[in-house]
Chains A and B, each alone.
Chain A
Amino acid sequence: MINIHICEKATERMVLAARQAYPQECCGILLGKKEDSITVSDIRKANNLVTGAQNRCHFEMDPMFLYQVEREIERSGLEIVGFYHSHPDCKAVPSEQDLHYMIPGLVYAILSVTKDGVADIQYFQK
């Protein structure tokens, strides 16, 4: 079990991003604090680099964007605690590819989104 607390603002922003991107996948960074438990207090939206029809079922983030965000938050007291992405018209469970790219210790939020909105958010850790 991951002991995790998500601030309302972070959830709202993720949900909005997933709805706006539908039917494409959205992705981004979870910012917060990692002590005994993990707190997610904000998110940072990232571009999905995948183009064409493939971006309905795949996402990829530019590592250089992550690097920029890392440098920006260096002295803010926040840290990168994980990442989020959406599964349009799919369950909020990690795919084989998701598992393949998971970095141990980080939190991965997956949002199941349909045309009616976000149906489910689940958090995973490897």
Chain B
Amino acid sequence: MKIYISATLRKFLGGTPQVEIPASCIRKAFAILLDLHPEAQNVFYDDNKKLRDFIQVYVNGKKLVIDTLWDTELPADTEILLLPAIAGGAPVEGGQNATVESLVSDERRKSVSFDDSEVERFGKHLMLKEIGVKGQKRIKAAKVVVAGAGALGSAVIQYLAAAGVGTIKVIDFNEVSLENLQSQVLYGTRDLKRPKVASARDKVKNINKNIEFIAEKEQLDSSNILEQIDGYDLVVDCSDNYKTRYLINDVCALHGIPVVFGAIYQFEGQVGIFNLDGGPCYRCQYPSPPPAGLIPSCSEGGAISPLPGIVGSIQANEALKLILGIGEHLNGKLLHVDSLYLTSQILKVERNRSCPICGNSPTITDVEEIDYDELCGLKTENEIPVEGFTPEELAKKIDNGDPMTIIDVREPHERAILRFPNAIVIPIGQLARRQKELDPNKDTVFICKQGKRSVLAINTLREAGYAGPLYNLKGGVDAMKDIMFSHEGAWL
């Protein structure tokens, strides 16, 4: 490929404006170029081996979105432009965290009063010089939305209520189920099948009946989210899926409401603060969600019981610090906790100047313009739709002895919970390579836990050029659990 090097970068790369590099992709071309000019290594890459922000790569005149084209094979006549990004900005006085301002104004604090029981109840807060009477009044005046009353929400809701937050709104559309009780400590056996927000209300009222608790049994979408969070000081994101996470981030970024974000996966958790005082938003760090089905959600991937308690407690603690305006908080940072090896790191999150929502030229101005299903890959409109069988249909085919190949793409530990008999096990990553193990003259049915990764598997195989008939088990093995076969016990 031909690489044109901007005059501004030329002196690091031998001074020639144009070089011809025999490489099939940009990553390899860069490696060859930097091998020739090792002194340019530090100019191009930072200490973490990440391409520096001021290096911009244009492929045939179009700006490269790094992660997408970096390893793509490109034809030999491709022209690459290596240009600098010229950007900057006026200094912000003091920078982030220099003054931590409370989210609750002095007027609102002054409008709040305590009775004797509250002085006793919050005694341990009043003792702290960082909180005291003024701080406790701020907590009481604060209005917080908790989005999601699952495992993270359980910790957040209880601690915010116990700490004395005056107005708490909880949004969740689910009912309590048995599998929730492993980590959602807000609920007990008696709450089974009850709406989570109703049980949450009982718990909160039991902690402190003076709290104004607003229960919203509603699924958040782009048409209702704004009215749900409008007028609140802070949103604590306790959702368990990318769609809601991006929706919350976007609406809060557009309306200047800070978000305390939390997420868990197996043994690891993350906490961060977004959209505070011109700081970064969630999209600055994660411009787009991973392809649907690639990263299992908590309900698919599992999580150790106390983990959401740890992460949720940190979220509640950050929320209180923002309300109080004390300490140093996670604005522009992401805390990563690994509960298996007891390690933690704080990562820096930079505001992304090309962020579509909070960047220099935002392209998103209203969440109603965005199709969040499409963003999160939950829609397959533009692709060939994946055909599938319902559990009943598949059971019937199995009962009839129809010829077919069943491919299980689940992880080994998932298969250990529930084995799917007569299935061939092929991890998604090996599918393209092992496609000859499939018989294109027979139906091939893909199964996973919830029927999402199997769709990804089918699309992968199609992209790799496999032409035989492919079907998905709708709802996955989970949906298959209750199916009875005519020759009972022979299958599942």
Contact = CB atoms under 8 A, between A and B. Distances in A.
Interface of A: 25, 27, 46, 49-52, 54-61, 63-64, 66-67, 70, 79-80, 83, 85, 87-91, 93-98, 100-106
Interface residues of B, number: 30
Contacts, number: 111
Contact of A60 (B63, B360, B362): B360
A105 B81 CA distance: 20
18 contacts: A27-B86, A58-B90, A60-B86, A60-B87, A60-B353, A64-B58, A67-B58, A70-B7, A91-B91, A94-B88, A95-B90, A97-B353, A100-B54, A103-B9, A103-B54, A103-B84, A105-B11, A106-B8
Interface string B73-87: 000000001011111
Contact of A88 (B58, B90, B361, B362): B90
A52 to B, nearest CB: 7
B92 A95 contact: yes
A33 to B, nearest CB: 13
A103 to B, nearest CB: 5
Contacts of B43: 103-104
Contact of B7 (A56, A79, A97): A79
B53 interface: yes
Contact of B361 (A46, A50, A106): A50
A100 B50 CA distance: 14
Contacts of A64: 58, 61, 83
B89 interface: yes
B400 to A, nearest CB: 62
A67 B440 CA distance: 51
B362 A52 contact: yes
Contacts of A97: 87-89, 353
Contacts of A105: 11
B177 interface: no
B92 A57 contact: yes
B489 interface: no
Given A66-B6, A87-B91, A90-B90, 6 more contacts: A54-B360, A61-B87, A63-B6, A64-B83, A97-B89, A100-B53
Interface string B208-225: 000000000000000000
Contact of A59 (B4, B58, B88): B88
B48 to A, nearest CB: 14
Q: Which of B53, B63, B87, B92 has the most CB of A within 10 A?
A: B87
Contact of B89 (A61, A91, A98): A98
Q: Which of A46, A80, A97, A106 has the most CB of B within 10 A?
A: A97
A96 B90 CA distance: 9
A70 B7 CA distance: 7
A55 B88 contact: no
Given A54-B360, A66-B83, A67-B81, A103 B88 contact: no
